[in-house]
Amino acid sequence: MRLRNQTWYPILYMFVLTLILSTILIVFGIFTHQRVEDNTRIAFERAVIEVLPIDLPDNISTNQVHQLYTQLIREPDSSSGTALRCIQADSFIAYALPIQGAGFWATIKGVIGIARDQKTVTGISFYEQNETPGLGGEIVNDAFRGQFVGKQLATGTVPLDIRMTTVPVDENSVHAITGATQTSMRLEEFLNAELTAWQQIITGKGK
Amino acid sequence: MPNEKNIKNVVLDTLWRDNPIFRQILGICSALAVTNLVLNTMVMGAAVMFTTALSSLTVSLLRRWTPRVVRMMIETLIIAFYVILFDQTLRAYWPDMSRSLGPYVGLIITNCIIMGRAEAFANSNKPGLSLIDGLLSGLGYAVVLLAVAVIRELFGMGTILGIPMPFFSSNLWDRWIIMVMPPGAFFTLAIIVWIFRTLQFSKQIEAKGTGK
């Protein structure tokens, strides 16, 4: 009891408790760090594999994703700009361009697949987003992503147009998500910025 | 111990008489934010139960050594410790859910229910009873949140736990998009608070009438 009456006791008590709890958290962080890193990497690899024009088994496992990624994907080179290259049986089949930009609530990260003609979209996938579930969060669903497959990238500042559902779409456009105007607009903005920059690089007009 | 209550009183208080959501209107920030999907709400409820139970237990275990002048700092430290532990576990073992809940798990640290139970109960009661009080306070929070989430997901998306529900997922039902947006949470929570409080009030009138 005498110890508790000392003026320095609260400071010492705080210090010791903070030290104990922080140590436990640091140890737990070290223990789970690799797993967290792996989860982030696997999410990216899965997004890349999903946008390629290849047949994937249903419910593909994490190991299969990693195996496929290692087999098919090559780092970007001068001919692919910032896009990863997909090579199957020694022949080039598609580009996988990582994209990211501000969403409604937080950064959206994804990958768009583009065929070797540099125009036809082979798929789009998102591996990080915090959009409103049920609204903007629908960008991860097949119904929205499926619209992109087969679309043609236009040249200019708007390679892909995201239109309201009341307006008909053409070969360069898809429909937005009803009730998620902000997410759709922001996605369109950064997607087109990334695509335009990539087109400029591969056509030699950019740096 | 003058402040000790028996377990029956703890159960009644935390789940009904002093329910953190519809009686004390505590912790409704996250109640409004995560309740547009039932699965997210279940995980959020589990996170709050885990944090409230273990932080109440720890606060109670340390209460004889904790100086009163720094007790709230200590309580915040303990709460933050358990929240970070839960958040890191989600990141490592359930990354999809971690991404889906976003910053709201971290914000449990600021949930008034947890600090409220530490201050009002765990500081002056035995560890076992504090653990039960914390666990049931979290459960009281989770149950009300779940009620809000079921209504919002059903009316807003026509599903429960992502499973399409008859009628609500058909063309006969025009999805109420407002239900999955923030205003939908306000309307639903307000109606639920109104219903539960009316029920509580009529029970009180009955009790007075019968002289209990």
Chain A nearest CA to B21, separation (Å) = 23
Chain A nearest CA to B16, separation (Å) = 30
| Residues B141-164: tens digit of each pLDDT | 888 889 999 999 999 888 998 888
Per-residue pLDDT, B112? 81
For B170, counting Cβ atoms within 10 Å of its Cβ (0-12 exposed, 13-18 middle, 19+ buried), the class is exposed
- Among A49-53, A156-160, B105-109, B196-200, the range scoring the smallest mean pLDDT is B105-109
Ramachandran category for residue B94: left, alpha or beta (phi over 0 → left; psi -120 to 50 → alpha):
beta
Chain B nearest CA to A155, separation (Å) = 34
Per-residue pLDDT, A185? 93
The residue that leads in pLDDT, A137 or B53, is B53
Per-residue pLDDT, A151? 93
Which among B91, B102, B180 has the least Cβ separation from residue A134? B180
C-alpha distance from residue A143 to each of A39, A109, A146, A176, A177 (Å): 25, 18, 6, 11, 10
| Residues B82-123: tens digit of each pLDDT | 999 999 999 999 888 887 776 678 778 878 888 888 888 898
What's the complex ipTM? 0.79
Indicate the helix (H) or strand (E) that contains A121: strand A121-128
- Between chain A and chain B, the number of residue pairs with CB atoms below 8 A apart is 74
Partners of A108 in the β-ladder: A101
DSSP codes, A122-158 = EEEEEEE--PPTTTGGGGGSHHHHGGGTT-BPPSSS-
Q: Helix B38-62 and helix B127-157: axis angle, to 10°? A: 170
Interface of A with B in 40-59 (CB under 8 A): 40, 43
Note whether B65 contacts A4, CB cutoff 8 Å: yes
Per-residue pLDDT, A186? 95
Could you tell me the two tokens for A18? 């903070």
| Residues B161-203: tens digit of each pLDDT | 888 898 888 888 888 888 888 788 888 988 988 988 888 777 7
Mean pLDDT, chain B, whole residue set: 85
pLDDT > 90 fraction of chain B, expressed in percent and rounded: 27
Which among B74, B103, B180 has the least Cβ separation from residue A135? B180
Note whether A24 contacts B89, CB cutoff 8 Å: no
DSSP classification of residue B124 = G
Q: What is the mean pLDDT of residues A107-126?
A: 94
The amino acid sitting at A38 is: D
From the list A100, A114, A129, the residue with the least C-alpha distance to A51 is A114
Partners of A91 in the β-ladder: A88
- Among A44-48, A177-181, B74-78, the range scoring the smallest mean pLDDT is A177-181
> Which pLDDT band holds residue B131 (cuts at 50, 70, 90)?
very high
A128 CB neighbours in chain B (<8 A) are 99
From the list B32, B30, B15, the residue with the least C-alpha distance to B189 is B32
Mean pLDDT, chain A, whole residue set: 89
Question: Per-residue pLDDT for B1 more than 50?
Answer: no
- Among A166-170, B100-104, B133-137, the range scoring the smallest mean pLDDT is B100-104
DSSP codes, B131-197 = HHHHHHHHHHHHHHHHHHHHHHHHHHHSEETTEEPTTTTSTTS---GGGGSHHHHHHHHHHHHHHHH
Per-residue pLDDT, B2? 42
Per-residue pLDDT, B35? 85
Token pair 């029920």: residue: B199
Note whether B92 contacts A32, CB cutoff 8 Å: yes
Per-residue pLDDT, A101? 94
Q: Helix B112-120 and helix B38-62: axis angle, to 10°? A: 30
